[in-house]
Amino acid sequence: GATLGRLSRTKIMLPVDKNGNPDWKFMEDYIKELEKDKMKKYMYYLINALKDIKYKKIVPLEKKKWREYTIDYLFYIKSGVRLTKKDMIEGKTPFIGSVDSNNGITNFVSNYNESLDCNVLGVNYNGSVCEAFYHPYECIFSDDVKHLSLKNVKGNKYIYLFFKSVIYKQKYKYTYGYKFNANRMKKQIILLPVNDRNEPDYEYMEQFIKNLMFVKYNKHIDYIRQEEYITI
């Protein structure tokens, strides 16, 4: 084990100065350069992302009319396929597992099966239940993850990200004694903003997420510029 005694005797490699002492200045400057490079890449990402996002004034969430829907009413719910680690073949296709991070990606494989899909929302019903991730790319899904696609409209990144938050709100009700199984997923009721025709207001959902991103991305750009990581 990593006992205190063993830890204190552990040797590490460090850059040194001409006198053989740890070169603290080099270490500091090296990390600053790494940080600057990351910030530069992130800045370019933000600027490119904002080209596709326009801010529009919309009705606040609390003033919208809302209506209940079951997940099954709104989505085609498709099953994943069991794939064990020993059967995985290394490749470039994302494999989506029931986790709460890394956009659900647990491996990259060259296996293919009937769960192959894209432009869908992956929703965990085992493991990290109700965690949901949007997948614009082709990927295959674990048998612990359902992949959902909207029935009446062509979903996109912004609409699916709205649903990600709505579905995650249900997480609190599911425990070891009350599992989020496939049948309960179908019947799960969620609240959605509706339009004048009393139908899900997909345009509103899309613009709401775009507005959030627009504000957030511009705040990040301002921060990077204020910290003088990069000037563009």
> Above pLDDT 70, what percent of the chain?
98
| Segment 130-177, tens digit of pLDDT | 999 999 999 999 999 999 999 999 999 999 999 999 999 998 888 777
Confidence of residue 230 (pLDDT cuts 50, 70, 90): low
Helix (H) or strand (E) holding 207: helix 202-226
Give Dmax (Cα) for the chain: 77
Rounded Cα gap, residues 179 and 158, in angstroms: 28
Rounded Cα gap, residues 104 and 96, in angstroms: 5
And the tokens for 121?
């929302």
| Segment 175-213, tens digit of pLDDT | 777 888 888 899 999 999 999 999 999 999 999 999 999
Average per-residue pLDDT for the chain: 93
> Would the pLDDT of 232 be above 80?
no
